[in-house]
Amino acid sequence: MTLTDTRVDDSYPTRITGKPVHLPRTHPTVWGAEADGPMDAATLANHETRGYTVVDQLLSPGEVQAYWQELVRMSSGDHSGDERVITEAKTGEVRSIFDVHETSELIAELVRDPRVLDRARQILGSEVYIHQSRVNYMPGFKGTGFYWHSDFETWHAEDGMPAPRAVSCSIALTDNYPFNGGLMVMPGSQRTFVQCAGETPEDNYKSSLKEQRVGVPSEDDITALAAEYGIDQFTGQAGSALWFDSNVMHGSSNNITPYPRSNIFLVFNSVENALREPFAAIEPRPAFIAGRDSTPLSR
């Protein structure tokens, strides 16, 4: 299938040359029902409306400690030449490590844990696979945030994800306060797809993973969305989890406090939404960023 072929039925055109507009979402946020998993009908309805769900104490304190030690292990040593390790543009410290479900036995077990996998299947209404996994490090004083963006815009444009039938699970391994760079989301914004202007540069992922410049909405877009949907912030103790839709507008600020903020980030995609050729890029991003093996996860 060629790049031109995939664009024929593109419901979410982006990286355009004209003036970007806001498009209505044509797909549901929740695809499953109460009988399909652990979330009750009210929680699912709220997720459909707001685009996110917080699960307190998903992990026990002992599990949090074990995963924290795993993050420390993964970030130590020499990472030169390893594309999966993303460093801070200014300090050179580890910012993110990708493909961690393939390199860490602990995280490989976590993606198949019923507390995680069953919720992913329920929200997406199908079997699922890992589109992306990573650990994020935001150290105290010098951790840099992520500008406002929709993940789906990038996954659609650069990975070839046809529809926003994917859900992310961010599991906090440190306490999330209102002041240490916690994730901000615009509740309900998943119902609006925000087009972005400009062509996708070759190998854009090499710079965008440090600081995203292409595929981000304008300040006018953010202002309009904030006026319509407002802004919530994910706060909670270590071990809590945030489930959020792939098209929810979200971002985080820099962390200038002494308190670090680190998390495990898992993206589940429906097997019925497998990647195609990119919709707005010459070549797809590497598999360590966008998994193309849609074999269903099993426990």
pLDDT tens string 53-82: 999 999 999 999 999 999 999 988 777 778
| Packing angle, helices 41-50 and 114-124, rounded to 10 | 70
- Looking at the domain assignment, is residue 7 inside a domain? no
Report the CATH number at residue 216. Answer: 2.60.120.620
- Looking at the domain assignment, is residue 13 inside a domain? no
φ/ψ (deg, to 5) at 2? -90, 165
The model's pLDDT over 110-153, given as tens digits with 9 standing for 90+, comes to 999 999 999 999 999 999 999 999 999 888 888 888 899 999 99
CA distance 59 to 276: 34
| Predicted TM-score of the model (pTM) | 0.93
- Looking at the domain assignment, is residue 249 inside a domain? yes
DSSP annotation of 143 = B
Can you list the residues of the chain whose pLDDT is less than 70? 1-8, 207-211
CA distance 127 to 32: 11
- Cβ-based neighbour number of residue 76 at 10 Å: 9
- Looking at the domain assignment, is residue 4 inside a domain? no
Please give the residue range of the domain that contains residue 183.
Answer: 22-289
CA distance 264 to 5: 36
- Looking at the domain assignment, is residue 51 inside a domain? yes
Domain count of the chain? 1
pLDDT value at residue 3: 39
pLDDT value at residue 274: 97
Q: Which two tokens stand for residue 81?
A: 């030449």
pLDDT value at residue 210: 60
- Looking at the domain assignment, is residue 27 inside a domain? yes
Residues in the chain, overall count? 299
Q: How far is CA 149 from the centre of its chain?
A: 10
CA distance 60 to 82: 32
